[in-house]
Structure 1
Amino acid sequence: MFERFTRSARVAVVLAQEEARDAGADRITPTHLLLGVLGTVDGELQSELGEVGLTVDAVRAADVGRVLTDQDADALKGIGIDVAAVADAVSERFGFDVLRPIRKRFRAGNIPFGPGAKRSLQLALREAVNRKDRSIDGAHVVLGVLRSDDAESLAAVESVVPRDELRRRLYDLLDRPAA
């Protein structure tokens, strides 16, 4: 299937793996795929996604799996709680790096695709085949994520734009003649 992916779509998949690794995940999820696409988009797709507010920052802001953001740490510091000092005390008492996820500490090499990410990529291929497109690009991957019905990635998308509107915009983008 990856032979049909454009260069930017392949880079998006590599970035998705890096996103998963950075998050300490043991599998690539549809949200990681979405972040990978958003990290590589350019041209018309970037303009379209930016216009509706779908950015890396927006998806990360909607990330329910993140325990403490930098803004959270700043807010806590404002009321006298130094998160770094707390982390240092916990590490001193219970061992170095105890707060870092174990999977992240020891994860090397390829991270496998989770079932949702596999389904998203299969659906991206179906989108391209149904449209009779010769290649799969970032827009197809986003459409695959939208069709996958993954709750986390859909919550991230719908925090900024209704999924049906995004789907319509992506179809319109793909229907435009090449410039």
Structure 2
Amino acid sequence: MFERFSRNARIAVVLAQEEARELNCGQIRPEHLLVGVLQSAGRDLSGLLADYDVTGEGIRRRLEPADAPDDSFESDAEALQSIGIDLRAIRDRVAQNFGPDAWDNALRMSGRRPRRRGHIPFTKSAKKVLELSLREALAHKDKTIDAEHVLLGILRGGDPFTVGLIAEHVDVEQLRAAIVSLLDDAA
């Protein structure tokens, strides 16, 4: 299924894994996918979400860290490779373009510290979100799954905590209709 993900949707999944890691969670949950989508959204979706004051940083502040053990960068790279993302190549490209310490420096400057952890699995509800994002793309007759589809999957998935985070800012049905309209306009 991940081969159908657009660049923004793949980045959202990577960012969800990073979010789970940063919060010391042992699993990627729907709220991590939400933060990933909010951080990777294209201009149109970002603008729409900003109108409702739904931002990655705002949602992120509502999430609580948990405890999880440390593992290695290599395990992360292997896990991401399984969805078509070469983390080693990305890290090497960053080092090539910005210097050997750019990767870790960027993490430190963003308030995050570089962490070395293994593969983080998806919860059942996060897997459901990804499955529903595929269904949303198929329903809209789109060939790729984009960040908008993942967000629709989150809204449709019904995870009470994650949907509640969104509902603090906007009526969920109103947001869903706005995203569908955005997808229809892009077609």
TM-score range, shorter chain: 0.7 to 0.9
Displacement of 1:104 in angstroms is: 4.5
Task: Find the counterpart in structure 2 of residue 137 from structure 1.
Answer: 146
Given the alignment, which residue of 147, 165, 174 partners 2:174? 165
- What is the CA distance between 1:108 and its match in structure 2? 1.6
Deviations 1:120-172 (A, max 9, x none): 00000000111111110000000001111111111110011111011001000
- Pairing of 1:67-86 with structure 2 (within 5 A): none
In structure 2, relative to structure 1, the CA distance for the partners of 1:109 and 1:46 (3 Å cut) is same
Normalising by structure 1, we get a TM-score of 0.75
Residue number in structure 2 paired with 1:42: 42
- CA–CA separation in structure 2 for the residues paired with 1:155 and 1:104: 29
Provide the residue aligned with 2:125 in structure 1: 116
Instruction: Please tell me whether the aligned partners of residues 31 and 162 of structure 2 are also in contact (alpha carbons under 8 angstroms).
Output: yes
Q: Which has the higher contact order (CA 8 A, sep 6+)?
A: 1
Q: Which residue is equivalent to 1:5? A: 5
How well do the aligned residues superpose, as a CA RMSD in angstroms? 1.6
Count of residue correspondences? 143
Name the CA distance, whole Å, in 1 between partners of 2:51 and 2:69. 34
* Equivalent position of 1:28 in the other structure: 28
What is the DSSP-based 3-state SS (H/G/I as helix, E as strand, rest coil) of the residue aligned with 2:142? coil
Q: Tell me the secondary structure at the aligned position of residue 166 of structure 1.
A: helix
Partner of 1:56: 56
Q: Matches of 1:160 and 1:126 in 2, distance apart?
A: 26
Contact preservation (8 Å) 1:22, 1:104? no
Is 2:187 aligned against 1:174?
Answer: no
Moved over 6 A (4+): none
Q: What stretches of structure 1 of length at least 5 have no aligned partner?
A: 67-99
Q: Partners in 2 of 1:104 and 1:169 — Cα distance?
A: 40
Any conservation in 1 of the 2:8–2:42 contact (CA below 8 Å)? no
Percent same amino acid among aligned pairs?
Answer: 43
Structure number with bigger Rg: 1
Distance 1:25 1:164 in 2: 29
Give 2:135's match in structure 1, choosing from 126, 129, 132: 126
Contact 1:25 1:104 in 2 (8 A): no
Counterpart of 1:10, as a letter, is R
